[in-house]
Structure 1
Amino acid sequence: MLRYRLVDADIGGIRFGISPLCELGLSLRAIRDPGAFPLQLGWLRRTEAARSRIDMTTLMALIDDRLWTPDFLNPRPASPLTRIDEEFAALEALDPDVFTHDLEAVHGRVPAPLRGDRPAAIRRTVRALRQLWDEAFAPHWPRMRAVLEADVVYRGRRISRHGLADMFGGLSSTVSFDGTVVSIALRDPTDREYAGAGLTLVPTMFTRRASAPVGDGPPMLMYPARGQGALWETEAVPDVDAVAALLGASRTRLLAALGQPASSTELAVRFDVTPSAVNQHLRVLRDAGLLTAVRYGRSVLYLRSELGSALLAAGGA
């Protein structure tokens, strides 16, 4: 069990962040064990050919059989606007002692592909991660980031409407908050407790429960982002009649708005129409293959499909 004991200043300083490097490192879990990440099979299929051009020997040396990754791949993001180039620059300047320490904390040793000259090993690691980013992430990152950002917005609303305990309880079944202590049930049997230094919450598509740094770094909790299943959902073959029914301003506005995941309730408020009218339009758009939809708890999140994006681009919308 991992516990973060929060004092008053920490509670006021709880923040959300998005780390492209963290997402990049955690994606090695899905690559290593695809069956454990069914929501990301779409990403794995789409990037299979691209990943064949990457230095996977170096990348697979970063992850162990427990699907743990070294802490230098999980930097604490300062905001939801962190850029991958900034994180790569920090990784390139990593202290070799920290590089070795973090690898040993995961593997118990430095894996063979990363032994020898440590600065050279760091450069090789960064080069392989850049390859993974360029080949498998960059083409999809705008949509992936949209899902992560939508999650941050949703959690912020939960805090404002229902309080911190409700928000923490909704992150994962393994996370709880009693008003002072955030408890995370991890697979690591070691009990750890930390106090002070705030807490950063990071949504990710590549954890099934909740994750935290392996070592004693700044308090950070990585949790599964909601709505991610809609991102890679296979699109049905469009129904010609349903596509024809798209002609109309209301559906075009909805399609344009769904570059980020949203529920019918949110859309009804934003466009000042009834939920029943929104649901009717959304059903038509989904049947036409222009939207994907996934249930999350009591809500259904909608997201524009690639076909929908292509239609808007062709129409100049």
Structure 2
Amino acid sequence: MIRIRLDELTLGRVRIAISPLWEAYSSLALTLRYRSEIPYPYTKWAATVLPRVPPALYKELAGTVRAQWKKPTASPLTPIPTSPSPAIEDELKALLAVGQDRFAHLMSEYWATAVAPYWPDMRNVLEEEILVRGRALVTGGSDLLLQNLGGRIRWENPELSVPHQTDLDWPLADSRLIIVAVLFARGNTRIFSTLHDTAAFSYQAQGAAVLGGPPRDTGAPHDHVRPRDRLTALLGRGRTAVLRSLLSPTTTTGVANSLGLAPSTVSQHLAALNSAGLVRRHRVGSRVLYELDEFGVVLLSELGD
């Protein structure tokens, strides 16, 4: 457990970001932790990409990451994002700047195989996460943001308790705290990094179900019925389209706009899918978001291709 103590100046400087490098690092850490028993919703992702990662590349990366686990922070391998949404190229350059040339080369190869094909959908989900959390920060301040990060993260002013493999007390005075949304966190804080007067940690972002499907085929129209489409035969065209649109958390209005359907029609489909246990709903502030539940991911995986 990491216990971060924030003074008032630091509390006013809390910011949220995403990081493709942190996602790649976290995805690798997840495979090392669970090995052949990769949990939902990462099972299909792992089965798809891991056979494509060269064994020598994976072995060397695994050794580097495991060695870093024994240290209090992952700072050398996971530079703190310098903007709310940095590009992977910039983050790899940051690794080079601190002398991590070999790790940067390995991660570039791993990224291209394991994460890049999924990144467009992941980025859409993460940008929505930033938007939702940013609204909480603006409307309720850092207190509201920190209270609602989920998982086992606990905020009792002035102490933020973050689950981690190390036991650490980290006071922050007149500093900055960056909270990095990560889809591959699997409910855990996989990364804690520090640099000068700044600390950053990862947390589980909403919408990891996006990793339960294949990379999005952006060229296909939303209402296209695929040959021998078993899912449409089972659920009907409307509910199938709604189910497929929920790879990332979305509002009723968002689904309606993306599919060109009336909100009332989408609402009926969502209610039926929710009752069947295929999707779940959760409230974030004044917004109600829908996303795939575990059974919805399984159904898409088995019948949705």
Q: Quick check: TM above 0.5?
A: yes
List aligned pairs for 1:70-85, cutoff 5 A. 70-85=74-89
Contact 2:53 2:113 in 1 (8 A): yes
SS at match of 1:167: helix
2:252 — aligned with what? 264
Query: Per-residue deviation at 1:301?
Result: 2.6
List aligned pairs for 1:228-243, cutoff 5 A. 228-232=208-212, 237-240=230-233
1:135 — aligned with what? 113
1:312 — aligned with what? none
1:280 — aligned with what? 268
Moved more, 127-136 or 30-39: 30-39
Change (3 A) 1:293 1:264: farther
Match of 2:192 among 207, 210, 213: 213
One-letter identity of the residue aligned with 1:301: Y
Contact 2:147 2:155 in 1 (8 A): yes
2:152 — aligned with what? 174
Moved more, 255-264 or 3-12: 255-264
Gapped runs of 5+ residues in structure 1?
96-121, 309-317
Q: Distance in 1 between matches of 2:41 and 2:67?
A: 20
List aligned pairs for 1:1-317, cutoff 5 A. 1-34=1-34, 35=37, 37-52=39-54, 55-64=57-66, 70-95=74-99, 122-207=100-185, 208-213=187-192, 218-232=198-212, 237-240=230-233, 244-245=237-238, 261-264=249-252, 276-282=264-270, 294-295=279-280, 297=282, 301-302=290-291
Q: Distance in 2 between matches of 1:280 and 1:162?
A: 33
Contact 2:151 2:188 in 1 (8 A): yes
Query: Per-residue deviation at 1:7?
Result: 3.5
Contact 2:247 2:291 in 1 (8 A): no
Q: How many residue pairs align between the two structures?
A: 269
One-letter identity of the residue aligned with 1:240: A
Change (3 A) 1:185 1:260: closer
SS at match of 2:66: coil
One-letter identity of the residue aligned with 2:168: T
Contact 1:3 1:181 in 2 (8 A): yes
Change (3 A) 1:240 1:269: closer
Moved more, 67-76 or 145-154: 67-76
Change (3 A) 1:267 1:156: farther
**Cα deviation 1:66-109 (Å, max 9, x = unaligned):** 956832222111223200111111212324xxxxxxxxxxxxxx
Change (3 A) 1:296 1:202: farther
Q: Distance in 1 between matches of 2:67 and 2:92?
A: 25
Change (3 A) 1:187 1:137: closer
- What TM-score comes out, normalization by structure 2 length? 0.71
**Cα deviation 1:106-158 (Å, max 9, x = unaligned):** xxxxxxxxxxxxxxxx4332221111111111111111111221211121233
SS at match of 1:135: helix
2:217 — aligned with what? none
One-letter identity of the residue aligned with 1:81: S
One-letter identity of the residue aligned with 2:129: D
Query: Percent identity, aligned pairs only?
Result: 25
**Cα deviation 1:213-254 (Å, max 9, x = unaligned):** 2666621121001121243158x94223755558xxxx98x8
Contact 1:230 1:293 in 2 (8 A): no
Contact 1:146 1:261 in 2 (8 A): no
Q: Distance in 1 between matches of 2:247 and 2:44?
A: 18
Q: Distance in 1 between matches of 2:258 and 2:207?
A: 19
- What TM-score comes out, normalization by structure 1 length? 0.68
Change (3 A) 1:242 1:175: closer
Gapped runs of 5+ residues in structure 2?
215-228, 301-305
Larger radius of gyration: 1
Q: Distance in 1 between matches of 2:191 and 2:105?
A: 25
SS at match of 2:10: helix
RMSD: 4.0
Contact 2:183 2:205 in 1 (8 A): yes
SS at match of 1:71: coil
SS at match of 1:210: coil
2:303 — aligned with what? none
Contact 1:30 1:40 in 2 (8 A): no
Query: Per-residue deviation at 1:41?
Result: 1.5
Change (3 A) 1:128 1:41: same
**Cα deviation 1:8-59 (Å, max 9, x = unaligned):** 4323321111111111112111221234643222211110221136611220
Moved more, 66-75 or 50-59: 66-75
